[in-house]
Structure 1
Amino acid sequence: MLNFFRQQSGSIKNDVLSGLTVSLALVPEAIAFAFVAGVSPLIGLYSAFFLGLITAIVGGRPGMISGATGAMAVVVVALVAQHGVEYLFPTVILCGLLQMAVGLGRLGKLIRMVPHPVMLGFVNGLAIVIGMAQLGSFKTLSASGTLVYLTGTPLLIMLALVALTMAIIWLLPKLTTAVPASLVAILAVSCLSLAINNAMKTESGDNVLATVGDMLRTNTQAAALNPAPAHGHAQVPTETPQGDEQAESPQSLLVSLNVPAQSTTDPIVEAEGKAEPAEVADVGISGGLPTLFFLEHELVPFNLVTLWIIFPYAIVLCGVGLIESLMTLTLIDEITETRGKGNRECIGQGAANLVCGLFGGMGGCAMIGQSLINVNSGGRGRLSGITAAVCLLAFVLFLAPLIEQIPMAALVGVMFMVVIGTFEWASLKMFRRMPRSDVFVMVLVAGYTVVMHDLASAVILGVIVSALVFAWQHATHMGADVKHNEFGNKIYQLHGPLFFASVSSFKDMFDVANDPDDVVIDFYYTRVYDQSGLEAINSLAEKYESLGKRLHLTHLSKECRTLLDKAGDLVEINVSEDPQYHIATDRLA
């Protein structure tokens, strides 16, 4: 990973400026994934505000940014389409309660189980997904209502501004680190874009260079031209116009999923047998202060039927949100060379989603792209996240017209630099030195992330495959040194772990029929890890007993001795020689 992520040191000035930079990048993200979820863009913006503010204050990872994300939006899109937006808010509240329960149960430490090859695959797959996701910003809405790529002069100008943005971010830190390079790049390219758009207009009067406002209107038009059935079903999205961790494009998604945009425009009018959108020129991000959802929306019945509907969605939201948040926490830990608190982050994410649901939000989790922008811009403390959230709300309340003029080219350039800094380039040189199994896991996780666009499932798959590889490899490590003592007893000194995969090798070591009357199994160099191992010992003891022989176990751990109740008097333990085994505490969680 490139070292420019580590160049900035934490300070109040850096936190404030980096928070402002992140807030600018949060606007299109929140709008985009609100459309993915099938809700109003303002819901996405308010969700990003509550999530960013609360996790910054009470979360376990200073400098990490949370907001409305594609991972959560994809889960709730079917719920909104089938049951209505009224069911979304209690689902998000229940998700928050479940996440807080996970944190209070100190289960955040489970993130330690993610192996390093899975982390490498996660990071590399994420970088590729973010890079591919920017292609959506090079599309525009054609006269027929379909999305097409830019061509000609608009494409060349946008590519030039993207390159200029990247050049500023790369070169400015070599001259000064007084201000975040990303913020300077966004402001400089925005001024240049404004001049270009004023000087050059299309025949229809549209901007040559797409802005945040243009993106919002494009999404609205796409939704209006492709209305949803009353009870549509969501499918897997394919790409996104902006750089969050999922590759979903709100424009193309709305076209393919037929998910409604929840009253962001006037109703569609019919003209000559073809649906045409009503006037969308006044669509924007301006709004007032958020209010409690039950003041504006009809309450759903509080009964078992409602719980039966929302609980599966809440479970999935809880799992997806925590996996992505804890993986982001681990990534920021590595970049900043500090350590966050997983359990506290679970509680913080839960509290944020709880409040977000109460105020009519769509829920969310940590945002990998925006978190990387933050640390790259020097944001290290909680103030950076607080600043980003407060600025985002200020944009909605006071500065919407200005924010809508930010060109997408500037934000795409910023995200391309995030891609360069995120990809673990050193992993390409490690292929020949890494075990083949680790290379396979890394490529599998990265490939699954790119193809399926589901980071949470990719991490789970990687952990499962790594566990299976580990079990297979250690199943062959079980062995024993056989010797006899002065009393004629046969001693098997075991080496290697005894667990479900090595049970067969363990049983094949013993010659029950020809062994002497007293047999000793020495566990000094090994450990029994699961019930399969305990059952194998009991089974072996029964075989020796059936032949009138006795089995003695030495150096067996206290936990195993407690569980070996089936062996009864057949088991003789040398307590004085048994070592003490220590279990990791929760202090590091």
Structure 2
Amino acid sequence: MKTAWGRFSGYSFQSLREDLLAGLIVGIVAIPLSMAFAIASGVKPEYGIYSSIIAGIFISLFGGSRFQIGGPTGAFIPILLGIVMVYGYENLLIAGFMAGIILVLMGVFRLGSLIKFIPRPVTVGFTSGIAVIIASGQIGNFLGLSGMERHEDFISSMAEVISHLNTLNVYSVGTALLSLVLILATPRLLPRIPGPLAGLIVASVVANLFYPGQVATIGSTFGEIASGFPALRWPSISWESMVNMLQPALVIALLGGIESLLSAVVADRMTGSKHDSNRELIGQGIANIAAPLVGGIPVTGAIARTATNIRNGAASPVAGIVHALVVLAVLLLFAPYASRIPIASMAPVLMVVAWNMSERKEFLSLLRTRTSDSVILLATFLLTVFVNLTVAVEAGLALAILQFIWKMSNSVKVTKVLPDHEDRSNKVRAHVVSELHDCPQFRICTVEGPLFFGAAKIFGSLVLDTLPHTQRILLLRMGKVPYLDTTADQNLADIVEQVHRSGGIVLVSGIQAQPREMLQKTGLYRMIGEQHFFEHTGKAIDFALTKLENKKCIGCKHFAFQECTLLSNPIKPLLTNSKGGDG
């Protein structure tokens, strides 16, 4: 693996110019988003700013993507708000710190690739659910409703909005609408100016000039934003707090890992580069360990800011560091002015973020398939909205696993086959087997598909159902079995024991490496007998024909094998000596 500094190889003065411009623009974009995400998460706006500074530096230095921009994101809002309401802000810092350690360990133990295997219906479901929670959570601020209590769950939050509609503030609605129009129109009319920044600045100026004191501001709601960077302080961690915050920390780590790697994949597609997923997790973990030391909230890769970084010509991780320094400069120089920003003007910022992250097109596309994926999608989405993200992800993954097991178990096939005498190479085929053409002593079965715990019983039943008591020899063609676990091994052992009890033998042909190793580890390989394993079906058939009870072959009219002509009527000479093919 290359070192983190390898991403800076070939760096030039031109690269620095590109990074300075990209970092400046992304830094300006990040400021209103950082404050909005912090407020929506139930903490002071400056904590979001601190997080952006820390994430911008540490993720850029230690992460696995050249273009990743880290910071607070909308995906974290429902989780962080729930933690703050149930456990308090101090415990949120502990959960974020622990999540950082978990992310580092995930990277060290190279689990980055595993996160990519989370099914798409689950990620689309909870992302769309989060978007609904974010947008609905801003209705009260958009309308300027007063006296509202914050609730963790969606239904209680909506009930709170409805019960306080009589406190609607027309000044807040006007401010929010002005901000929304500017957020949507600015990218089209003035593409170089970030829409959220234009919306906040213009709406703040209008509100403070024309109707001062009529709408709630950051200062009146949360107090004045401190203009300095906070001193380092260690969260008051105890064993009890660590135990209590373990589950929230795991959720933060999982979601942070998913979001950061999704963002890195988007960056790869836009630039043709390739990120290091395990190093990215380590970088994310270091940033989340550092953020609580300055009072910051959990961070992850931000897809929209990363895309903005790339579109504005970023050449290296230096752009992410510049973005962090821009945010720091604004904090030091303009913090008092930020305190005058109306809360209503920030609501549209989050609503637009929710709309952009909703993945509505993919949601509808998956829904229209009307498959089990649609069920997983709806279940994850509804549980995210009406219960919580933890339950939603757990249920979504459980449903996806059950779906996988069901599909894989149905993919296991056991087919009776015999040599096709019309085929020149005498390949074995299923269509030649019939009631009148089937050896009473020798059964050949082709097994297909992975033999694991979900399919093991089906495999055993299918084989035994094809095996009359009169048949002494069973040949299992296992060339199309890529995997076999201990449960399937036990079912195969039951089959072998039953055949052995009736005085028969089991032969195996074409077995792959993993199933062979498993049989050797469990001892079933010795039980079957090393001499009963063959590379090719033809060799196994030749061996089996030497083990038949010739007395039972006399008078048999099945003629399953070409050798049966002589075995059925031993007085006649064998005219052809064709072997069973490799099948």
Output the TM-score relative to the length of structure 1. Answer: 0.70
1:84-95 superposed matches below 5 A: 85=90, 92-95=96-99
Task: Identify the residue that residue 549 of structure 1 maps to in structure 2.
Answer: 504
* Cα contact 1:55–1:348 (8 A) shared by 2: yes
Deviation per CA, 1:462-514: give whole Å up to 9, x if none. 22211211212332232222124699642110123322222232122224452
| Residue 329 of structure 1, CA deviation | 2.7
Describe the shift of the 1:76–1:459 C-alpha distance in structure 2 as closer, same or farther (beyond 3 A).
closer
Cα distance between partner residues in 2 of 1:545 and 1:115: 44
Task: Identify the residue that residue 451 of structure 1 maps to in structure 2.
Answer: 386
Q: Which residue identity is paired with 1:494?
A: V
Highest Rg: 1 or 2?
2
Cα distance between partner residues in 2 of 1:159 and 1:418: 15
Task: Identify the residue that residue 3 of structure 1 maps to in structure 2.
Answer: none
| Residue 292 of structure 1, CA deviation | 2.9
Relative contact order: is structure 1 or structure 2 higher (C-alpha 8 Å, sep ≥ 6)? 1
| Residue 319 of structure 1, CA deviation | 4.0
Out of 119, 131, 134, the residue aligned to residue 115 of structure 1 is 119
* Cα contact 1:51–1:66 (8 A) shared by 2: yes
Structure 1, 415-424 or 427-436: larger mean CA deviation = 427-436
Task: Identify the residue that residue 495 of structure 2 maps to in structure 1.
Answer: 540
* Cα contact 1:64–1:374 (8 A) shared by 2: no
Task: Identify the residue that residue 21 of structure 1 maps to in structure 2.
Answer: 29
Residue 217 (str. 1) matches residue 240 (str. 2): no
Deviation per CA, 1:415-442: give whole Å up to 9, x if none. 3333443333433653575242111112
Task: Identify the residue that residue 239 of structure 2 maps to in structure 1.
Answer: 307
SS at match of 2:231: coil
Task: Identify the residue that residue 522 of structure 1 maps to in structure 2.
Answer: 477
Residue 427 (str. 1) matches residue 427 (str. 2): no
* Cα contact 2:31–2:327 (8 A) shared by 1: yes
Deviation per CA, 1:119-160: give whole Å up to 9, x if none. 332343233233223214225474799984563531441243
Deviation per CA, 1:347-400: give whole Å up to 9, x if none. 11221122234x253541326586478469758663454344323333333321
SS at match of 1:446: helix
* Cα contact 1:163–1:413 (8 A) shared by 2: yes
Task: Identify the residue that residue 557 of structure 2 maps to in structure 1.
Answer: none
Deviation per CA, 1:207-242: give whole Å up to 9, x if none. 44x4xxx23532x4xxxxxxxxxxxxxxxxxxxxxx
Task: Identify the residue that residue 250 of structure 1 maps to in structure 2.
Answer: none
Query: Displaced runs of 4+ in structure 1, greater than 6 A?
Result: 143-147
SS at match of 1:494: strand
Q: Which runs of 5+ in 1 are unaligned?
A: 1-9, 221-282, 301-305, 579-589
Output the TM-score relative to the length of structure 2. Answer: 0.71
Task: Identify the residue that residue 337 of structure 2 maps to in structure 1.
Answer: 402
Cα distance between partner residues in 2 of 1:332 and 1:423: 19
SS at match of 1:113: coil
Cα distance between partner residues in 2 of 1:345 and 1:98: 13
Describe the shift of the 1:413–1:78 C-alpha distance in structure 2 as closer, same or farther (beyond 3 A).
closer
Out of 221, 230, 240, the residue aligned to residue 290 of structure 1 is 230
* Cα contact 1:498–1:529 (8 A) shared by 2: yes
Q: Which residue identity is paired with 2:483?
A: V
Q: Which residue identity is paired with 1:468?
A: L
| Residue 161 of structure 1, CA deviation | 0.6
Describe the shift of the 1:121–1:73 C-alpha distance in structure 2 as closer, same or farther (beyond 3 A).
closer
* Cα contact 1:22–1:373 (8 A) shared by 2: no
Q: Which residue identity is paired with 1:550?
A: I
Task: Identify the residue that residue 408 of structure 2 maps to in structure 1.
Answer: 474
Task: Identify the residue that residue 570 of structure 1 maps to in structure 2.
Answer: 528
Deviation per CA, 1:430-462: give whole Å up to 9, x if none. 3575242111112222222222342x5433322
Cα distance between partner residues in 2 of 1:217 and 1:158: 16
* Cα contact 1:18–1:379 (8 A) shared by 2: no
Q: Which runs of 5+ in 2 are unaligned?
A: 1-17, 150-159, 420-425, 427-438, 538-583
Q: Which residue identity is paired with 1:345?
A: E
SS at match of 2:416: strand
Task: Identify the residue that residue 333 of structure 1 maps to in structure 2.
Answer: 265
Out of 32, 36, 41, the residue aligned to residue 33 of structure 1 is 41
Task: Identify the residue that residue 494 of structure 1 maps to in structure 2.
Answer: 447
* Cα contact 1:49–1:67 (8 A) shared by 2: no
Identity within the alignment, %: 20
Task: Identify the residue that residue 56 of structure 1 maps to in structure 2.
Answer: 60
SS at match of 1:430: helix
Q: Which residue identity is paired with 2:80?
A: A
1:500-515 superposed matches below 5 A: 500-509=453-462, 510=464, 511-514=466-469
